[in-house]
Structure 1
Amino acid sequence: MPHVVTQACCGDASCVYACPVNCIHPTPDEPDFGIAEMLYIDPSTCVDCGACVSACPVGAIVPGHRLEEKAARFVDVNAAHYGYTQQDSVRFPVQQDWRLPLAPIEKPKALQNGPAIVDVAIVGSGPSAMYAADELLKQPRVRVTVYERLTMPFGLSRFGVAPDHKSTRLVMDLFDEVARHPNITILLNTEVGRDVTLDELRSKHHAVLWAGGAPTDKPLPVPGADLPGVQSATALVGWYNGHPDFASAVPDLSTERVVVIGNGNVALDVARILTADVEALAATDISRAALAVLRESKVKEVVVAARRGPEHAAFTLPELIGLADGKARVWVDPADLDGASVDGIDDPTIAAKVSLLQELSQNEKPAEPFIRLAFGQTPVAIEGDSRARRVRFAQTGSDTETVVEAGLVLTSIGYRGVPVPGLPFDDETGTVANVAGRVTDTPGVYVTGWIKRGPSGFIGTNKTDSGETVANLLADIEAGVHA
């Protein structure tokens, strides 16, 4: 049986270039790369050589015959992406003309011109920053200084990944290796704007690369969103991961029901943590302070409410499989799937999501605490006296309203970048104005990650994103363009 990509996939394409037979797609040369929910191995061309296994930074690739039961569905997920049935014998009539031959990976050309030593400042130390540093350090003449305002590095890979997703957090091992390079210096507890200005960075370095991410949540535009008892899912994630900015974001878990508005992967993460076995969480690196609060939790149900139908679910298929086939107790009310069908859905990933949701709806309501995935619910208002007590929803597309009692409401409807003093900002996209990483009208200053492209993609998406920015930065150094 061929190798299989599983839910830990970070999409950084290391496996793609390691594969000798071009069986892993989408590749960085193909249109779906960066928006696909994961990478997929074609069972018809995989030769089981195992080269991808050692290349994967998060242990996501497994020989098919060694899959754990909770990951068994990924055999079908990988096969279906290429138009095979579960038996890998009958092809669906899918269009595969988009698959392009993989361009050979090119080693970066050594700098020929410019300063003898090229000093580059990177602001931030999250995934986009560390992937950029890794690429820059392939140039012997480059010295990198990372400015990180927190006392620990690696940003969202440390503070944004759920503590029970241990394999995904393994990407920090890669970043640790980058941090050990002799030509990099990481200055912790150093904030640009407080300890050093952007102008000072530009005067000290030949180039400045801003990798500050999209640190704020999109606000929920409904009455009552400012009531006590309403907070962002991002704050909760930071709280249970020990992020110092969210040490005071302690949720009130004395309520029996929590409502999460939005249904992306973060929404599923917080729902899973709030209903997880506390002793199992104790074996992770979850914040000990958060663990103590979770031990006293009275939560019996977490409702994850989506505005649109199941075919438009924002969470990824790997995340749903991890939820359904892991130890989480999850349920879908059959009424929420009324009319939902896989018929007419051409995208095998979306079809697999709807099919799995239908499967969950056939189960009995699980033991408490459990997660309920709800669809077609548009929030109208959050109501209460001195704090949130209930959420009023309208059935999307109709005037029918329902009220869900809840003492804690978490919003999870997306992220947004904030303006960087001294740099041009595109308010519509929430990004620093740039062209392929070059900051508009600001020579020698560059961006990468969410502040460059907006909050999209996965951890590994930052690898190709940073590669583009670094290539342009080095080209400018070569051409004599400095900060």
Structure 2
Amino acid sequence: MSGHKLLFSGLKLWTSASCRWTGRHHDGVNRRGKAASFSSCSPKVCIVGGGPAGFYTAQHLIKARQDLEVDVYERLPVPFGLVRFGVAPDHPEVKNVINTFTQTAKHSRCSFYGNVNVGKDVSVEELQQAYHAVVLSYGAEGNRSMGVPGEDLAGVYSAKDFVGWYNGLPSCRQLSPDLSCETAVVMGQGNVALDVARILLCPIDILKKTDITQPALEALAESHVRRVLIVGRRGPIQVACTIKELREMVNLQDTRPEMVAADFEGVTEALKDLPRPRKRLTELMLKTALETPEEKERERRNKASRTWGFRFFRSPVEILADPDHKRTAGIRLAVNRLEGSGDAARAVLTGEVEDVTCGLVISSIGYKSLPIDPSVPFDQRKAIVPNNMGRVQQAAGLYCSGWLKTGPTGVIATTMNNSFDTARSLVEDLDSGALVVSAAKPGSQSISALLDKRGVKPVLFSDWEKIDIVEMKQGQAIGKPREKLLTVEEMLLEARK
């Protein structure tokens, strides 16, 4: 029996080419409160990417339309994307959104298919043939490079890979960073840069109680890194982290701040014109950098064996090599001055340079999205899919949400709002008839058949729950909330038991 016939056999409301809506949905509720006679189908939507953007989009779609079915496809066998692989291990409270995503994944009108690499195992065009709408939410898995000589030396890593290494991302398992130096330089001053600095300096006793991977925990226990400089091309008023992340650095056990007073010239005067969140953040920085702490805090700082500090108005020029030209021995920084003020201020080179001795350089200047399929429009310069409120330009029925839509900005709440906006655009298009659902679509049925033919076996949400149980048991055995499986092979083995 063909996929279409199998899908619709026994359903009297359906015909082979189209299906008539009688005003009732799956749950028998008439959404408009009266009989409807227009011709329509259960809209089938496919989401590519099982991270926060994908799950938030699915959540909103299911809530907005009682007749809508959503399938989420994810490249890895495990769901949750950056909540699992990006959030710092010492921030367990941020991972609580997993509970909401789990509810969505277990909804009767939502299905999860892990271990499916869209663009390789199945094309976007094939998904478009099977679904009424396709939402691309696969995030930003590329690195923005610094574009300086020496970037390929041993001892230089992207923050994305470094974070992936300590969080158990399978593709970063072999990273094995060399932590034998005393000074590390983190380029960038966003939340990810502060996460990296904090993990490098965090007492092992704290990390032992988190879901950081065992290989990372062992490497950090042996680490010689005692000083981390967090470098940015602009000034204190343009720093990109949040006050919560800065406060954690200020209060981090066994560390003290080490700032350059000259970097804060004129900042006190500029405070009065700053918006409140920025003002609070800048005040905390000023206090940390310039004020003499109270006795108890001074005592704590004097005992500290590790230091951290912001360095402002600096851009990377070159990674300096050791005499053998094999390893990182330092970084040459250009000294900048600012033109303009506030968020619009631009860093301009002064012609001066400064060399910093270090054995570890971590570039945290941003993630970037990559094109998934030649059929999908992609703006190489902005590294996003060109869109209007999540509607992909010149591609009816194609949508995008998350970092692929906006670029890598904001926190999980930002992604939530951005994803809800895309879902709203899709629902508006369904309600207005701009998105045509009069023709029946086979959805996952035809995609599953294609994957089967190609030897791809998806991991369902119930299979992920088997992995979840194993990881939590492994963690409990050593006093941790979870010990992650580190290879796709191990994940698939547990999923198929």
TM-score range, shorter chain: 0.7 to 0.9
Match of 1:325 among 232, 251, 259: 251
Q: Does structure 1 residue 441 correspond to structure 2 residue 394?
A: yes
Count, aligned residues: 375
Pairwise CA distance, 1:477: 2.7
Q: Rate the CA distance shift 1:338–1:120 in 2: closer, same or farther, 3 A.
A: closer
Q: Counterparts in 2 of 1:333-482, with a 5 A limit? A: 333-345=259-271, 346-347=273-274, 348-361=276-289, 362=292, 367-384=304-321, 385-397=325-337, 398-421=350-373, 422-478=375-431, 479=433, 481-482=435-436
Structure 1 counterpart of 2:217? 291
Question: Shift of residue 247 of structure 1?
Answer: 0.9
Aligned to 1:54: none
Q: CA deviation at 1:165?
A: 0.8
Secondary structure in 1 matching 2:412: coil
Partners of 2:146 and 2:316 within 8 A in 1? no
* AA of the residue aligned to 1:390: G
The one-letter amino acid paired with 2:320 is E
* Paired residues for 1:42-441 under 5 Å: 115-138=40-63, 139-327=65-253, 329-345=255-271, 346-347=273-274, 348-361=276-289, 362=292, 367-384=304-321, 385-397=325-337, 398-421=350-373, 422-441=375-394
Q: Which moved more, 1:392-401 or 1:256-265?
A: 392-401
SS at match of 2:408: coil
Report the residue type matching 2:380 in the other structure: D
Distance in 1 (CA, whole Å) between partners of 2:260 and 2:329 is 26
1:330–1:360 CA contact under 8 A, matched in 2: no
Task: Name which of structure 1's ranges 112-121 and 283-292 shifts more when overlaid on structure 2.
Answer: 112-121
1:114 is displaced (CA, Å) by 6.1
- State how far apart, in whole Å, the 2-side matches of 1:110 and 1:250 are: 58
SS at match of 1:161: coil
Q: Deviations over 1:50-82 (max 9, x none)?
A: xxxxxxxxxxxxxxxxxxxxxxxxxxxxxxxxx
Q: Deviations over 1:281-301 (max 9, x none)?
A: 010111112111111111111
What SS is found at the alignment partner of 1:370?
strand
Asked if the contact 2:136/2:400 (under 8 Å) is kept, the reply is yes
2:281 corresponds to which letter in structure 1?
Answer: K
Q: Report the Cα distance in structure 2 between the residues aligned to 1:309 and 1:462, rounded to whole angstroms.
A: 27
Post-superposition offset of 1:277? 0.8
Alpha-carbon separation, structure 1, partners of 2:199 and 2:287: 22
Between 212-221 and 127-136, the greater mean CA deviation after superposition: 212-221
Q: Percent identity at matched positions?
A: 37
Unaligned runs of 5+ in 2: 1-30, 338-349, 438-497
Q: Which moved more, 1:353-362 or 1:212-221?
A: 353-362
Report the Cα offset of residue 203 of structure 1.
Answer: 1.2
Alignment RMSD, CA only? Answer: 2.0
Q: Distance in 1 between matches of 2:42 and 2:435?
A: 15
TM-score by length of 2: 0.72
List alignment gaps of at least 5 residues for structure 1: 1-108
Give the secondary structure class of the aligned counterpart of 1:226. Answer: coil
Alignment partners' CA distance in 2, 1:293 and 1:465 = 37
Question: Would the aligned equivalents of 1:304 and 1:372 in 2 still touch at CA under 8 Å?
Answer: yes
Task: Give the CA deviation at 1:437.
Answer: 1.0
Higher alpha-carbon deviation: 175-184 or 232-241: 175-184
Partners of 1:465 and 1:352 in 2: how far apart?
A: 26
**1:334 and 1:481, CA in 2 relative to 1: closer, same or farther beyond 3 A?**
closer
Change (3 A) 1:482 1:248: farther
Deviations 1:305-326 (A, max 9, x none): 1121111111112211222235
Q: Is the 8 A contact 2:59 2:104 kept in 1?
A: yes
Q: Which has the larger radius of gyration?
A: 2
Question: Distance in 2 between the 1:442 and 1:302 partners?
Answer: 46
Contact 2:45 2:68 in 1 (8 A): yes
Q: CA deviation at 1:110?
A: 6.5
**Between Structure 1 and Structure 2, which shows a larger proportion of helix residues?**
2
SS in 2 for 1:425: coil
Q: Deviation per CA, 1:364-413, whole angstroms, max 9, x where unpaired?
A: 76522332222222222111021111011232233333211111100011
For the 8 Å contact 2:258–2:307, the answer to whether it is kept is no
Q: Which has the higher contact order (CA 8 A, sep 6+)?
A: 2
Residue identity in the other structure for 1:116: C
1:330 and 1:433 map into 2 onto residues whose CA distance is 44
Q: CA deviation at 1:116?
A: 3.2
